[in-house]
Amino acid sequence: MEMQRRSLILGVVLLIGFALTNSEAALTVPPIHIDTPFNRSSFPPGFIFGSASGSYQHPCITYILTCSDQAWDTYTHNHSERIADRSNGDIALDQYHKYKEDVGIMKDMGLDAYRFSISWSRLLPSGKLSDGVNEDGITYTTI
């Protein structure tokens, strides 16, 4: 009981401290100045340079393929007033149509790897394997 009381007091003190902090000043980060060139030779041999995408960056396929919405799809459609520019991810980065261009950019950058991520709801619309898979989603992920 004493431990819970102390934890509660600590939590309240932290909340008050955060509330009294000048949030604008707290978010000001000084610029980083690098005196030496920053390139591949700055890293040890064998270091892998790559890029990645998040599953929500591929929601455009919801409107092209037969897929179920993710929670964020539903949220942005039902509460657009809570999004600064009232946008949603219906198109996002449109990698569905621009994947060849994206791969070309990664090649031009000299990247070694790319991690592609897609939401399970794109592959299993009902969330259950027993209800079947979305063949369009499977095909898209193997392009």
Cβ burial, residue 18 (10 Å; 0-12/13-18/19+): exposed
Average pLDDT over residues 13-40: 63
Spatial CA neighbour of 125 closest among 116, 117, 137? 137
- Spatial distance between the Cα atoms of 133 and 122, rounded to a whole number of angstroms: 9
- pLDDT score recorded for residue 142: 66
- The one-letter code for the residue type at 75 is Y
- pTM score, two decimals? 0.54
Spatial CA neighbour of 96 closest among 52, 134, 63? 63
Token look-up 């909340």 returns: 15
Res. 87 pLDDT band, cuts 50 70 90: confident
Token look-up 């369009």 returns: 136
